[in-house]
Chain A
């Protein structure tokens, strides 16, 4: 390690130990906002992919059976909730970290917010994509047999359970921090 770098690191460390509040205050909100962004981004992307898949399948069915519009629309929209859940966690967090209300957290709390956002971010992303695939299959089922709507709706709804569990952990953590 070059002496110059060593000197620089030492001086930074000294500055941080002498004035810890400076670094911490600024980084806390950064961490928290990364969490908020991840929750919105990943869950939103997942829902967009899922609803997109459902929409394509639904459009295919509608060419032959336009009377099924309301039903396939419901099936298409099922993977859309993850994006809402991400948004929900994001808003609750924004209301606490000083953006829409509350106070800016220190670095440690900021990281806690980041960690709290991760469940809905990742589970939202993946569950929405898989729910989209299940919705596509259910739309196919509905096209062949329109009387099975109840069952066709249930299959994608099963996938959503895990997004709800993740949402619960995220939101309980964020609102109790």
Chain B
């Protein structure tokens, strides 16, 4: 459990080698850049280059999405666990030289996509027009016929159903004197009646006005062809558009072999972007460049030596100033390292704080197991995580950490399950009673310690005990931090006094009736210790009152702040009570598991009974395990974050984020 100590590294070199040096640093994955204070002359140029690289990444990404849509790659649900294809630096360089080709491929693919969209819209337009032509079949003249020598020809459709009589009546009503017209009806339906109407040119104005009022609509397609000819042309055009779309799709499918080069283009662009962003932080002279940053102390000399050998650069190493913000990287052993991400998501240790991972990991596994407490579920977690870890060795670091964390949580869950007698609830007993005729009152699988459901108060008291230990360790770490910073008065005022007060109070509480009624058995404590406890508590309380705010000059204010600190005893009470969730969640797992088992056993011991038992068992325990895993995970985090970290940890440290090749998606540059 520690924070890796860092050294500051200053690199000065020739501008021609800038990119090469940056690439080198990126491959090493150790250099955490900080901004050089000097003005960067080429900042606008760098921004432009970043934009260009981002555009390329986007181009590759859209082309890949297109490929996935048209020619899906076979991936499977575990694809994300497999990690990227590993490439060494040479292979990477060889592929990088072909980036231009990949970009061209992406552009041409996207053009084809545009072509497909265009063809599809043309086909759709033809389809609409074709549908519009249906009522005009059998018209027998060009659709745009508008007049003969003396007559006006009106082609269109009236809404609703019309016949010769209804039309005549309507005309008669509107224009009583008008009857010199000729109408022919085409095949209509209940919504519209297509028709062709001939009338004399001098009547045309009035007739058109009349028809307009009735909702007369012209055909959507007006052409100099008959409907049949127009239809044939449209069909031809539509088929051509569809074929064109298919051909373009086939062309995209044929280009699917270029998927790898597109993926590489995407990844290489990402790396280029992060290099360029680093460049934005660099300092620059007219012919030279400067980089400043942090590297782990252990590796610093190696990096310096190899950089100075390869390039014309000068590398200076210094220990960081005490005032400087040094990036924080955690380093822990294999047992506790998996919980680093838990600490990281709360915040990295800030100034004067120790890395809590090591101690927290022990409590994390302990509390998680206690909440889930089922040997069967624990076993599943152990086996599941072990298989995934074994089968996918190249998955990302965070994924690997999580799997390892759940592996250890599984071990703890398994142990707690044995202690509390839970193996998929009480499945061993249920099976023995239902299928093997063991008498109901014989318990086959006995808990090594005790069954929580039979003695809930006992587990409650133990939960509080674990809580007090957890909290006291937190307070002790705070004391350690204060002593390390030589703040002895703070240590007395806000750590030692608390210990005295709390231990005194606990010793006073143990022999009391209240405790006896909870635990069922009072704890006898000799009289001298009881009176000592009172003194301890009193000294502690006075210590808090006087020294919690010892650095205030105003004595009244100092007492008031001390009294406020003393009021924090209520906080301690609620913190300890919060550990009652250990009991609640533990009971939730075992009770629901046994309910599932008794439901499964309801159908007797016949063949159907066995089948139904297996089905209900599988479904029920999957659900129960999922929901209780979630509960245990969330509430273990909560106990660490709120109760434990609340005692000593603020976590305002800056994360160590070296220039790295790890942010790629498909390919993986081999580690140097």
Q: Write the residues of chain A forming the contact surface with B, with a CB cutoff of 8 angstroms.
A: 74, 77-78, 80-81, 84-85, 87-88, 91-92, 100, 147-151, 153-154, 157-158, 160-161, 164-165, 167-168, 171-172, 175-176
Contacts and interface: CB of A to CB of B under 8 A. Distances in A.
Interface string B621-641: 000000100110011011001
Interface stretch (B195-203, B474-482, B591-599): B591-599
A151 B641 CA distance: 9
B342 interface: yes
Contacts of A165: 577, 580
Contacts of B592: 84, 87-88, 91
Contacts of A167: 584
Contacts of B457: 172, 176
10 contacts: A88-B591, A88-B592, A92-B591, A149-B345, A154-B637, A157-B634, A157-B637, A157-B638, A160-B635, A176-B457
Interface in B490-535: none
- Give 7 closest A-B pairs by Cβ, nearest first: A150-B345, A157-B638, A164-B581, A164-B584, A167-B584, A168-B580, A157-B634
Interface in B625-660: 627, 630-631, 634-635, 637-638, 641-642
A77 B631 CA distance: 9
Nearest to B641: A154
A168 B452 CA distance: 13
Interface of B: 342, 345-346, 453, 456-457, 460, 577-578, 580-581, 583-585, 587-588, 591-592, 595, 598, 627, 630-631, 634-635, 637-638, 641-642
Given A81-B631, A149-B345, A157-B634, 18 more contacts: A74-B634, A78-B630, A81-B627, A84-B627, A88-B592, A91-B591, A92-B591, A100-B598, A148-B345, A150-B641, A154-B638, A157-B638, A158-B642, A164-B585, A171-B456, A171-B587, A175-B453, A175-B456
Contacts of A147: 345
Nearest to A156: B634
B584 A80 contact: no
A153 B627 contact: no
Nearest to B345: A150
Nearest to A74: B630
Nearest to A157: B638
Contacts of B587: 88, 171
B588 A88 contact: yes
B125 to A, nearest CB: 30
A88 B596 CA distance: 12
A88 B585 CA distance: 10
A96 B77 CA distance: 46
Contacts of B578: 161
Contacts of B635: 157, 160
Contact of B580 (A78, A149, A164): A164
Nearest to B457: A172
Contacts of A161: 578, 581
Contacts of B598: 100
A74 B109 CA distance: 39
B634 A85 contact: no
A155 B490 CA distance: 31
A161 B584 CA distance: 11
Nearest to A77: B630
B594 to A, nearest CB: 9
Contacts of B631: 81
Contacts of B638: 154, 157-158
Contact of A78 (B342, B460, B584, B634): B634
